[in-house]
Structure 1
Amino acid sequence: MYEPLEINDFQHILYIIRDNHKSHNSLTHKEVRVYLDCMEQLWPRLNIPNCDYPPTMKFYLWAMSCTISHEKRAMLAGKLLDLILLLKQPNTSPSDNF
C-alpha cells in the first residue's frame, strides 16, 4: 500500500525544519509540531538494523515541539540530523557520541 519508511524521509523533514527560518514560505510553530509528532510516532516503523530509539532523539523531538524560536528549533534539528547520520553508519552506537 505505502512504500516503507526510510531514515532519509526523516532527514528530509529535519532539513526543512532546520532551514525553515531561511525560507520565504516558512512553516508555523504549529506546522512544525505536527511534523515532529508524526516523526516520533513513525520512528518505530523504520527498519534500521541494530538500532533502538535513542533517548537523545526523543529529547530532541520533544524539545523542538516546545514553544521556542525558529532559530532554537533549527539548532536542535541540526543536532538531530547529526544523530541520524551516526545511526546510518554501521557499527556505531549513538550513545557513545551523545
Structure 2
Amino acid sequence: MATPVSVVDDTEDYSFLPLIHDIIKCMDKDNQDVHQELNKLRQRIQDTREQILAMPGIDLSSEVQQNKLRTLREQVRTKNQLLQKYKGLCMFDIPKPS
C-alpha cells in the first residue's frame, strides 16, 4: 500500500504546459536554464505520481471499487429511508417554555 502523502490544496495547478513552455523558450534562446526548467518539470511529474499513489482506493480493482460504491449507496438509501420514517414520528412531547 502507498505511504500517505500530505494532501495538496485543490486549487494547486497541475498543468505541465507552463513548464513545457518555459523549457521551449529557454531552448529557443540557447539559455543554460534549460536544465533547471527540466528539473522543475521532473519534480512536478514526481509530485503528481506521489499524489496519485496516495489516493484512497487506488490499490483496489475497478470491480472492488464498484462493489464498494454500490454498498455505500445502499447504506445511504437505507439511512435516508430511516430518517424519513423517524422524522414523521413524534416520540417525545417537547414542553413549551413558560
Q: Same fold (TM over 0.5)?
A: no
Normalised by the length of structure 2, the TM-score is: 0.34
More helix as a share of residues: 1
Structure exhibiting the larger radius of gyration computed from Cα positions: 2
